[in-house]
Structure 1
């Protein structure tokens, strides 16, 4: 498709831009006509994106240029008469309008066949404080923010290598969302990298309205019904940098304070930064305990339900786990109601003002705790096991993994209540198949190094070893 080029006539360029950008309607799109070295010129920018002090100095410099000092071309002016670092030349209207809408300062000079694009933009941004979800007991306390340039700088700060690549792409016909692929050129799988870039270039959507989730759904369209996550999300630049050094690709999306890591196996998702900020023994304990707790959150309530159906299977000495009070509501309905109630409390906590969070938490604990048991709605044993499951879910940094286990646990509860032991077995088989048949975005095994089996890599996934080069 042939691209439309700008004219050397300033009036024609202004007429085109004023109409295309609807300058008369959009109050925040500002243009100003000035005179530079005896030539008419016009600048366009987005109010709020440009640095006022810098623009004031640039204007003063432009107005001080004498007619005999005025360069004859845009290329010459960019080399000799622009006291700024980031300057680009474009004559394609699509690219020019894209940069203007991104906040770049555009300068048109009568007689020049190219537009001077001065990247003096600044975005409203919050501080790079520690993320609320990916907190660590020890380690750095900075986190990604919504401004993509800040995020790339946080990674560059940790990887000072010329092999690190930051490749910019765009997606969305209207939003033109910036997407950055971060990878080590000598360590990345270039076949997968090329496939990923091709998939992003082929995305046909009007806008990435949900940022990373929209991008993830566009990149991975098959097996959408499998709840286990296909990407690892992190708001920690140290975690993202570590994955880049291991040969993975980190995807940054503008306006999103987290990074997508691909390809990702289930072992990658379970890992956390605390595993590496502590000595090997402590890191191994934290990692194995997280694996064990994840397994318990799935098996605890369905196993209890199965044992209540088959009391004769309860081992000797564990008879105390039996329900002692009368059961007014079947156990399966108690478990399902509490699964829904816990999510309701979680959503309420997100939307509760901070000043009310403590009293409402106390009220919820009383109502759903002691009063619900005393009223006969729930049995104390059911409340105990569901409380463990609800709290244990927060040991996982990945929301997607905790909800995947939740969905599979609910399926197990329902099948166990209907079909007994055979339903329990079928649900466990379904869980194994859901994990084993899931594929990473690169098409590799989701449970590597279990399948295909690699003992050395599996040992590294389960145990925290000393760093290479450490002295014995």
Structure 2
């Protein structure tokens, strides 16, 4: 049973001071003063409080005379709290959660309700375009770590009264804010109810890694299947478009990424540039992306298979045969380069920008030219792996790119060990990992291919201009 606050101010102060460790926390402040002949106590977190708004409140408070003091908190709120968002609470736990969220709390002697004044001022960075989800044409804003700002970016794009921003709390210690954003008339309410219940039933101390921690708590999928269950985006225009299509967007406080559910593999591959250009250009970019992703998956395993079975190479393809001496087995060369590419990627991420140019020069000279001339690698292997590395960056989703990478490495190893049968087995494992995967809604990961929907399947590859309908605006 929820514990209620008392009408005696001193009892409330003693309880709050003990719970909030007032005196030990330098940033948790409380101040007691008299307003209209009654004692009043203010609790707030230094760094969250909007000083200008609180100054306005104080200007109003000092003018209150004892004879003007109302008998009920509702009347006090109507007459003397004209600024900001004011909520009256009598539940002790909700008051604690509000104070720790940065909301200013005012307790008045004789009132059995506390005034929660939302005049927070969050420290935040600018809404510049995200590094990973850049577009050639379109809006240049992006999500930030402040949840209120992220919801405002979506509200700016969807001005419908049916747009719902539902607040939930996750984490026993962290009490992290989680928002479910959806259009009430277009969302699948059965899926929404299941998703809400899953979030409410999460028993965890805190969401340490924000949205990734929530994703792992929501769906306990098999660790050996690397294909992602969610589409993550830092672009508010992408999130708004998905909401208009009937999806649910999950936003976690302190995370600049929105989780879009449910998402099939075709949804994850999509990106904003597919829709910021005319249909012909958008269709070309989309088809190019699909072809590049498929070629990056198949190129090195197919070439390794042909090198192990040179009789299968037709006369007109003899130029792909290795011309130099092979000092290191081809499979080792591929695996070493797969790891080296990730090593260079990690080095680039952790290298200060002023040193990025020397790093690029060293990578080009040492890893590129000298590794071939020294005999460690063959030039053909370096060429194909360079294409694969570039193709990985054409995939907008980081998790999906690594899923393809893992499947490619498994196929390479099986091909090197079992030859043709290993190549076939590798592709069977890859296809099975995709086919038997399920979205968080429990539906097919390959929709609209399985189950087959000809119209929707065509729209995944070729973007055509269709009339807008009540199912969304994306085509």
TM over 0.5: yes
What is the alpha-carbon distance in structure 2 between the residues aligned to residue 318 and residue 39 of structure 1? 92
1:223 Cα deviation (Å)? 2.3
Other-structure match for 2:100: 101
The answer to whether structure 1 residue 155 and structure 2 residue 154 are counterparts is yes
Other-structure match for 1:59: 58
Task: Encode CA deviations 1:77-132: one digit per residue, 9 max, x unaligned.
Answer: 11221121300011111000000000000000111100000000111111111000
The answer to whether structure 1 residue 24 and structure 2 residue 12 are counterparts is no
Other-structure match for 2:120: 121
What is the alpha-carbon distance in structure 2 between the residues aligned to residue 79 and residue 118 of structure 1? 13
Other-structure match for 1:398: 397
Q: For the Cα contact (< 8 Å) 2:84–2:119, is it kept in 1?
A: no
RMSD: 1.0
Other-structure match for 2:242: 243
Match runs of 1:309-388 below 5 Å:
309-388=308-387
Task: Encode CA deviations 1:107-159: one digit per residue, 9 max, x unaligned.
Answer: 00111100000000111111111000000000111100000111111111111
Other-structure match for 1:292: 291
What is the alpha-carbon distance in structure 1 between the residues aligned to residue 162 and residue 355 of structure 2? 50
Q: For the Cα contact (< 8 Å) 2:60–2:80, is it kept in 1?
A: no
Match runs of 1:421-436 below 5 Å:
421-436=420-435
What is the alpha-carbon distance in structure 2 between the residues aligned to residue 376 and residue 293 of structure 1? 29
What is the alpha-carbon distance in structure 1 between the residues aligned to residue 468 and residue 100 of structure 2? 49
Other-structure match for 2:74: 75
1:315 Cα deviation (Å)? 2.2
What is the alpha-carbon distance in structure 2 between the residues aligned to residue 145 and residue 222 of structure 1? 28
What is the alpha-carbon distance in structure 2 between the residues aligned to residue 457 and residue 281 of structure 1? 17
Task: Encode CA deviations 1:196-242: one digit per residue, 9 max, x unaligned.
Answer: 00000000000000111110011110323210010000011111111
The answer to whether structure 1 residue 447 and structure 2 residue 443 are counterparts is no
Other-structure match for 1:234: 233
What is the alpha-carbon distance in structure 1 between the residues aligned to residue 395 and residue 65 of structure 2? 65
Other-structure match for 2:418: 419
TM-score (norm 2): 0.98
What is the alpha-carbon distance in structure 2 between the residues aligned to residue 125 and residue 280 of structure 1? 37
- Between stretches 52-61 and 264-273, larger displacement belongs to 52-61
Other-structure match for 1:183: 182
What is the alpha-carbon distance in structure 1 between the residues aligned to residue 330 and residue 320 of structure 2? 14
Task: Encode CA deviations 1:151-208: one digit per residue, 9 max, x unaligned.
Answer: 1111111111111111011100001110101111011000000000000000000000
What is the alpha-carbon distance in structure 1 between the residues aligned to residue 348 and residue 127 of structure 2? 24
What is the alpha-carbon distance in structure 2 between the residues aligned to residue 245 and residue 167 of structure 1? 16
Q: How many residues align?
A: 469
1:469 Cα deviation (Å)? 5.4
Match runs of 1:271-282 below 5 Å:
271-282=270-281
What is the alpha-carbon distance in structure 1 between the residues aligned to residue 126 and residue 182 of structure 2? 25
The answer to whether structure 1 residue 459 and structure 2 residue 458 are counterparts is yes
TM-score (norm 1): 0.98
